[in-house]
Chains A and B, each alone.
Chain A
Amino acid sequence: MRPVTCEECGTGVLVEKRSLPHTSVQWTGPTDRCPQLAGGGARIEGCTRLRASIEREVREGRLTVAHDD
């Protein structure tokens, strides 16, 4: 897994992408700095800002996708 920092709240998470549709995000601390997830827990599917940050890492080649097809 590769570290990715959210451009919105600055939280660092670990990300793995085995393919373009696949994403795995491991948080290593609380979500309380994230304006979308804080207090919502697993009932919120994800943060759109973090997602955008991950997509940007992929676009800019810093996060490699295992099976890029």
Chain B
Amino acid sequence: MNTPRQTPARFARGWHCLGLARQFTDGRPHEIEAFGTKLAVFRGRDDGRLHVLDAYCRHMGGNLAHGTVKGDTLACPFHDWRWGGDGKCAAIPYAQRVPLRARTRAWTTLEENGQLFVWHDPEGNPPGPGVTIPRMDWIDDEPSDGPEASEWSDWTWDSVLVEGAHCRELVDNIVDMAHFFYVHHSVPTRFTNVFEGHVAAMYVESTPRRDSGMELIGADLSLRSDAAYYGPSYMIDRIWQPLGDGTEAETVLVNCHYPVTADSFVLMYGVRVRRLPGTTARQAEDMAARTARGMRVAFDQDIEIWRHKTRVDSPLLSDGDGPVYQLRRWYEQFYVDAAEVRPEMTDRFEFEVDTRRAGEAWEREMAANLARTGTPGTP
């Protein structure tokens, strides 16, 4: 029997995406509730860079996210102390001098793929060598004949606050072959996981359930997907779907999150699609928006499960399941001190799930459902 447990209040070490960088460039500070605290994100007026500070002012606790950007500093709404992006107090207009060592926490940031990231480490160390967010270099964002010629649609971006669940539930999904059939109405025909270092990958091919009446964009297509988490919370998923006429739809999905408290997190997802031959940039944007709506349906299916399930640290697995324990072992590296990361957490591990037996069972189930209802409907 598994009884609900207290979820650990420690947050993962790693890069966490806070959203598209352009959400934060309007000259105003932005408040983000994350890692059990509040952050203030702002862009320096002169340096043009995005900075992230602890939101609560070290003076008397004013909320800097409700303050004002003044030059390259963020001014507190309470007494106008000016905080630089480096965390140093740059000025206190009404005082003769700034106290020695007047500092707040400046979070290490990174901009990549049009997104803003902060580095979180409970031990306060900088990211180790090679611990970074890969650039999507297969997307040429600066084609020589101008941005309108871009082969890819711009990012869609959506976020949803998930309450009552630890973000491990979301990460568990990448080894959970069977839930794709029951929760997402797709039939995995190939399902492999590879973990190594700080990366956890999922290689999938799937077809849609024939007995499902779900009308999602792309849900009626087979797909091939290469997805990987880079660190604890940022996944890049490349998806290819044959369109029947010899062409292939190509999508990139970012699925990322940051923890708010020990049992809530903000899930975000963004989509870009490659423009199909003979279509306009506008049509590609529409296609990306429809794909994002389909993603929302899929995430809502997961959220509905998470909202009502319990946390299980020692799941009881069958031989048809993916490598949940090995994934958890990989994931644990982000929740222990760097000195406690054991080799087995980062050593390469490969697991190819046997989809054959499951496929036969699901084939029978779909055939029975179709025989019963005559037409595809809700299974």
Contacts and interface: CB of A to CB of B under 8 A. Distances in A.
B294 interface: no
A45 B354 contact: no
Given A18-B319, A21-B354, A22-B354, A42 B200 contact: yes
Interface string B357-371: 100000000000000
Contact of B351 (A24, A37, A44): A24
B195 A42 contact: yes
Given A43-B228, A45-B192, A45-B194, A21 B356 contact: yes
B347 interface: yes
A42 B347 contact: no
Nearest to A25: B350
B319 A67 contact: yes
Interface residues of B, number: 25
* Interface residues on chain A, size class: 20 to 34
A43 B199 contact: yes
Interface in B216-274: 226, 228
B319 A27 contact: no
A17 to B, nearest CB: 9
A62 B202 CA distance: 29
24 contacts: A19-B356, A19-B357, A21-B356, A22-B352, A23-B350, A24-B323, A24-B352, A25-B348, A25-B351, A26-B347, A26-B349, A27-B347, A28-B347, A29-B347, A31-B196, A31-B348, A42-B194, A42-B228, A43-B199, A43-B228, A44-B194, A45-B192, A45-B194, A46-B350
Interface of B: 192, 194-197, 199-201, 203, 226, 228, 319, 323, 343, 347-357
Given A43-B199, A45-B201, 11 more contacts: A18-B319, A19-B356, A27-B196, A27-B347, A31-B196, A31-B348, A42-B197, A45-B350, A46-B194, A66-B319, A67-B319
